[in-house]
C-alpha cells in the first residue's frame, strides 16, 4: 500500500473508532475541516509511526503541522525518501 493509501485508511479507521464523520478525502482537504480533532490526529501520528516506522513531526524540530491532507502526505513521503 502506498503511504497515501495507508494514511487515508488509518484516517477512516480512527474516524470510525472515535465516531467522527470524515469529510471526503482529497489532496486539498483542509485537515481542520476533515472532521477529525487534535486527539484523532495524535492517534493518527502514533499509528503511522507504528505502521511506517517514522514520526516526521518528532524527528525534526522544524516540521510545522501541514494544513491540507496533500501536505500531510508529502511530509511522510519526504521523510520516508
Residues that bind other proteins in the complex, under the rule CB under 8 A:
17-18, 38-39, 41-43, 45-47, 50, 55, 57-58, 65
CA distance 77 to 27: 14
Between 4 and 20, whose beta carbon lies closer to other proteins?
A: 20
Min. distance of Cβ 8 from other proteins in angstroms? 18
Between 2 and 38, whose beta carbon lies closer to other proteins?
A: 38
Cα 8 to Cα 11, 69, 76: the distances in Å are 5, 9, 12
Amino acid at each position: 500500500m502506498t503511504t497515501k493509501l495507508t494514511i487515508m485508511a488509518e484516517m477512516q479507521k480512527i474516524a470510525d473508532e472515535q465516531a467522527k464523520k470524515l469529510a471526503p478525502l482529497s489532496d486539498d482537504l483542509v485537515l481542520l475541516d476533515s472532521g477529525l480533532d487534535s486527539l484523532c490526529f495524535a492517534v493518527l501520528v502514533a499509528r503511522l509511526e507504528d505502521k511506517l516506522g517514522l514520526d516526521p513531526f518528532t524527528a525534526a524540530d522544524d516540521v510545522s503541522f501541514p494544513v491540507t491532507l496533500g501536505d500531510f502526505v508529502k511530509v511522510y513521503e519526504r521523510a520516508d525518501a
